[in-house]
Amino acid sequence: MSKAALEAIKKKFSSELLSEHAQHGDETLVVKKEKLVQIAEFSRDDAELAFDVLVDLTVVDYLIEGRTPRFEVVLHLRSTSKKHRLRLKVPLEEGAPKVPSVVGVWKSATWMEREAYDMYGVVFEGHPDLRRILLYPEFEGHPLRKDYPMARRQPLYRRPERQGDVWEQKHILSGPAAGDHFKGTYDLDR
Amino acid sequence: MGIELHRSQYLQELLSWARKYSMFVQPYVTACCGMEYMPLMGPRYDLSRFGCEFVQFTPRHTDLLFVVGTITEKQAPVLRMIYDQMAEPKFVVAFGVCASSGGFYQNYAVVPGIDQIVPVDVYIPGCPPRPEQIIDGIVRLQEMIQRGETHSQRELSGRATQGRQAG
Amino acid sequence: MTSIAEHLDPTGVALPTETMIINIGPVHPAMHGTVRILAALDGERIVDADVQPGYLHRGFEKECENVTWAQVFPFTDRLNYVSPILNNVGYAMAVEKLLGLKVPERAEYIRVVAGELARVGDHLTCLAAMGMELGAMTVFLYCIRARDRIYDRLEELTGARVTHAYCRIGGVKEDTPEGWAERVLGDFDEIRGALDDVERLLLKNRIFMDRTQGVGVVSREDAISWGWTGPCGRASGVDYDVRKDHPYGVYGRLDFDVPVMDTGDCYARFYVRLVEMHQSLRIIDQALAQMQPGPVLCEEHRVVLPPKREVYNTIEGMIRHFKLIVDGIRVPAGEAYAFIEGGNGELGFYVVSDGTGLPVKVRCRPPCFIIISHMGNMIRGHSVADIVPIFGSLNMIGGECDR
């Protein structure tokens, strides 16, 4: 990306900029969440930047590393005409992580934000239809958070006649945490 | 009375022979195993040689539920609904390790084996199994049908499946 | 005898109508993945639709966070399971970017050849399924027969027909077997024959044209805004191919064209895939000719497993092997996004590391998830029967869409 273009966005939103880096050639800006939509609109509409495609939107959970803030929303942007790329990161506190939705700027965010909500519990304010997408509505919790154990099952259907199986009842079904399927090697509470 | 019993046994064998060689298959294809299901029905590993050619997508017309691929928790009630819609005698084949035991997906989203949901007659392991393995599984199913040993046939004939001994 | 016209209501037959909501899927007669479409219909016209994916959500990201970097490869295979090598390559590139590792040239060429074979397999499957769903069963059988040849070659190379797990961080698992290149080139006749047959059977076929032309039109602005890439994007005029715009591996040295159409309908998406296959065969030809003998795994001791001779005979080799398997490769802390041209579009992998042998995050940027996100809007105004060619031309692979 041209230096001038990057400087333009850094200058315009210097109050929102928390940090930046260009590790491995990927230019990254870490910004505050309040003016995310304005930053998004500027990057799309500015002639030098012209980021008209939101390539990817995801969330990273830094609970194990112990970093605060715990969550970070990561947006990857691409320009069809200028062929450059940018990564925007928005740190979010734990608690009730909320961030403005960029659906109005790039339509591809529609389902990606729904998935981020489904997996991490991050609420995207202004999203027209924020509901679970990959999991079923009866699911409780947000599985990609680091404190959700990988093997905790929430079965949606169970075959009726199997409840009579003595071995299964003794070893699996009557565990202290109802819903945990495997204990031991698969209970990876990392 | 002896003659009638003999005749009905002969009739059962005749019906089993007819059933095993004219199976209407419901391919419940979800995942990567579907990529081996396609060549199985294709010209090289032709499954129609074994009588399982006729593919129906409505369960009410089928007798073999071929569960191909991973079944997730979201999909589980749907699988049960499809199974319930089939008419007796019905057979279920678990194609691939994900359908047999969950495969290497032991996590919150995957049902560890479709026998949590439906009674299974033949398990075909493999990730995905080669078409030859699947043909082996289908032939075993056909032998089971001939002997009357599938879950459905046992229920119909009154000989319920014995519970597993502990250990 | 009175004519029937006298009995009809002269003002026109007035039937009460209300929108009816019907459920299509997740079990439906399409060989592609499981997706549920809730369609609100006015007669046969779709007024509104809600596309619900997630019936194959297998927890790819969660699993990846609990295994070592090298153990992620089998999981990546099962993302886009019709072209598994491409996923392997994408993930390997992302981790190699974090490590700053350079892959030997022969390994790059083999990745290109195997990747393009996988891409041909992907497009063959899409054409086969699309043909079958529209009633052309012969096309399905011809394409599957050609695809079986590709599986044979990939089985000789990697050991498995479908889920290869062939790439490693630092190269590929092992070199090509003896005479493999000649056998691949020998199969081109069969594959080109199948493509010619498909062209003759379908492209000028009245039924196929009526069912696919003008159906599911997506404009270029919509395609860009909704993030469409790959064959679907190129059929709508988005001239973006990662292999040309951001060349990776050895694509910069190979000469090939990228088909772009501007009609944006199902016919265009079908045709673009057909032409792309011819270009992929061209790429394989050139890559096999340019390939030189050499190592296929880089020499970096902290990343690559030592050869078995060393493992069994030297203590250093055994310790190295042990540490790499048990602890995993120590990838320096940081984040990287690497992207390749997958079968459906830009397949990206965003990996985050904290310096240990287990990843913090392995995110797959799924091209067909992005493409299907627009499907609900696309099918509005079409009839129910149009869902079949639209869904077939979008080539949704459940493993990639739901991960």
The pLDDT of residue C60: 93
Q: Residue A95 — very low, low, confident or very high, per pLDDT cuts 50/70/90?
A: confident
In chain B, the residue whose alpha carbon lies closest to the alpha carbon of C78 is: B32
A123–chain C Cβ distance below 8 A for any pair: no
Beta bridge partners of residue C348, listed in sequence order: C339, C365
Burial of B85 (0-12, 13-18, 19+ CB in 10 A): middle
- Confidence band (pLDDT; 50, 70, 90) for A190? very low
Tokens describing residue A10: 């850094």
Give me the residue from C57, C225, C238 closest to A134, CB to CB: C57
- Taking CB atoms and an 8 Å limit, are A80 and C240 in contact across chains? yes
This prediction has a pTM of 0.90
In this prediction, residue B155 carries a pLDDT of 82
Phi, psi angles (nearest 5°) of residue A99: -150, 145
Determine how β-strand A53-61 pairs with β-strand C334-341: unpaired
Q: Does C326 touch chain B (CB under 8 A)?
A: no
C232: helix, strand or coil: helix
How much is the average pLDDT of A23-51?
Answer: 89
- CA–CA gap between residue C69 and residue C73 (Å, rounded): 8
Selection from C16, C24, C19, C139 nearest residue C386 by Cα: C24
Q: Which residues of B touch C162 (CB under 8 A)?
A: 32, 35-36, 128
A138 reaches B (C-beta below 8 A): no
Residue pointed to by tokens 């392991």: B125
Determine the pLDDT at residue C230: 92
pLDDT in tens, A121-167: 999 999 998 999 999 988 888 999 998 888 888 888 877 665 545 55
Whether A38 has its CB under 8 Å from any CB of chain C: the answer is no
Residues 6+ apart with CB under 8 A from A157: B73, B76, B77, B79, B80, B117
CA B11 to chain A, closest CA, distance in angstroms equals: 31
Structure-token pair, residue C267:
């016919």
Q: Helices in A22-165 by DSSP H: which ranges? A: 36-45, 109-120
Cβ within 8 Å of residue C310, ≥6 positions away? C316, C317
Q: Chains with ≥3 Cβ pairs under 8 A against C? A: A, B
Measure CB to CB from residue C34 to each of B43, B75, B105 and give the nearest one. B75
Q: Is C128 on the interface with B (CB under 8 A)?
A: yes
Residue pair C266/C235 in contact (Cβ under 8 Å)? The answer is no
With an 8 Å Cβ cutoff, are C125 and B104 in contact? no
Pairing of strands B64-68, B91-95: parallel
Q: What residue type is C132 in one-letter code?
A: M
What is the residue whose two structure tokens read 């055994």?
C318
Question: Can you tell me which residue has the tokens 């080799």?
Answer: C317
Q: Which two tokens stand for residue C28?
A: 């439906």
- Taking residue B35's Cβ as centre, other Cβ atoms within 10 Å add up to 25
Local confidence band at A174 (pLDDT 50, 70, 90 cut-offs): very low
**Reduced to 3 states, what is the DSSP secondary structure of residue B39?**
helix
In terms of CA atoms, which chain C residue is nearest residue B83? C27
Q: Which of A64-68, B133-137, C344-348, C390-394 is predicted with the least confidence, judged by mean pLDDT?
A: A64-68
Q: What are the Cα distances from residue C82, in Å, to A89, C78, C375?
A: 33, 9, 21
End-to-end distance of chain A based on CA atoms, in angstroms?
39
- Give the H/E segment covering residue B97: helix B97-101
Q: Looking at residue A170, what is its pLDDT?
A: 53
Among C160, C64, C35, C74, residue whose Cα is nearest residue B30: C35
What's the mean pLDDT when you consider all of chain A? 82
> Across-strand partners of C42?
C45
Is the CB of A23 less than 8 angstroms away from the CB of C373?
A: no
A157–B contact, CB cutoff 8 A: yes
Measured CA to CA, the distance from residue B122 to residue B138 in angstroms comes to: 8
The closest alpha carbon to C37, from C22, C54, C47, C19, belongs to: C22
Under an 8 A CB cutoff, do B36 and C161 touch? yes
Instruction: Output DSSP code: residue A170.
Output: I
To the nearest whole Å, the CA of A160 is away from the closest chain C CA by 22
Of A151, A159, A162, the CB nearest to B108: A151
- Tens-binned pLDDT, residue by residue, of chain C (403 aa): 566 666 666 665 666 678 889 888 788 875 477 889 999 998 889 999 999 999 999 999 999 999 999 999 999 999 999 999 999 999 999 999 999 999 999 999 999 999 999 999 999 999 999 999 898 899 999 999 999 999 999 999 999 999 999 999 999 999 999 999 999 999 999 999 999 999 999 999 999 999 999 999 999 999 999 999 999 999 999 999 999 999 998 999 999 999 999 999 999 999 999 999 999 999 999 999 999 999 999 988 889 999 899 999 999 999 999 999 998 899 999 999 999 999 999 999 999 999 888 999 999 999 999 999 999 899 999 999 999 999 999 999 999 999 8
